[in-house]
Amino acid sequence: MKNTITQFFSALLMVFIFGNAAAQSGNFKAKNPYYSRTATTPLKVSNTEWKKILKPQLYQVAREGATEMAFTGKYYEYDVKGTYYCAVCGNPLFLSTSKFATTCGWPSFYEPLRKDGVKYKKDNSHNMERTEVLCGRCDSHLGHIFDDGPKPTGKRFCMNSVSLEFEPSKKVKK
């Protein structure tokens, strides 16, 4: 009897743990009233509100300016045609045609999709002079921009994969 009760509570605990993890790893867009791939109006949402909506790693990078570890992001060596969006608000950011191979450890682009799709902010953290790249709609931290990119711009938008969402191009049937 004791063994059966222990097994029951162990099973119940596993359902709670894995069920809770599955709920947290689910698609947060359904819970995010600010997510839109077509809206252009700038968002003014408090970090308190974002913390309720975003997954912890995305919140740390996008709202607190953290950086994911180099060579670990899902889009670092990703080579599929399509569009990259802000993972926080859905703002279109980069086309895959502006992505280029680099050894820096993060996905890099030579130009944004639209000039107003991103914003820039001086960043002197970590005893460096850099320029931070923010989403033009929700002000989320995306990464940094450097002057060592390829032509035609000479820029390298070094982005955190966690701050990006990707949608592959749809093939047109003839």
Q: Hey, which residues does 99 pair with through a beta bridge?
A: 109
Which domain range does residue 62 map to? 44-168
pLDDT digits (tens, 9 = 90+) for 42-89: 999 999 999 999 999 999 999 999 999 999 999 999 999 999 999 999
Domain membership of residue 27 (yes or no) is: no
Domain membership of residue 22 (yes or no) is: no
Total number of domains in the chain: 1
Domain membership of residue 1 (yes or no) is: no
Note if 104 is an active site residue.
no
Domain membership of residue 95 (yes or no) is: yes
Domain membership of residue 6 (yes or no) is: no
Q: Which of 86, 89, 135, 158 is catalytic?
A: 158
| CA distance linking residue 34 with residue 90, whole number of Å | 8
Pairing of strands 130-135, 118-123: antiparallel
**8 Å CB contact between 131 and 120:** yes
Q: Find the CATH number of the domain harbouring 116.
A: 2.170.150.20
pLDDT digits (tens, 9 = 90+) for 120-166: 999 999 899 999 999 999 999 999 999 999 999 999 999 999 999 99
pTM over 0.75: yes
Domain membership of residue 78 (yes or no) is: yes
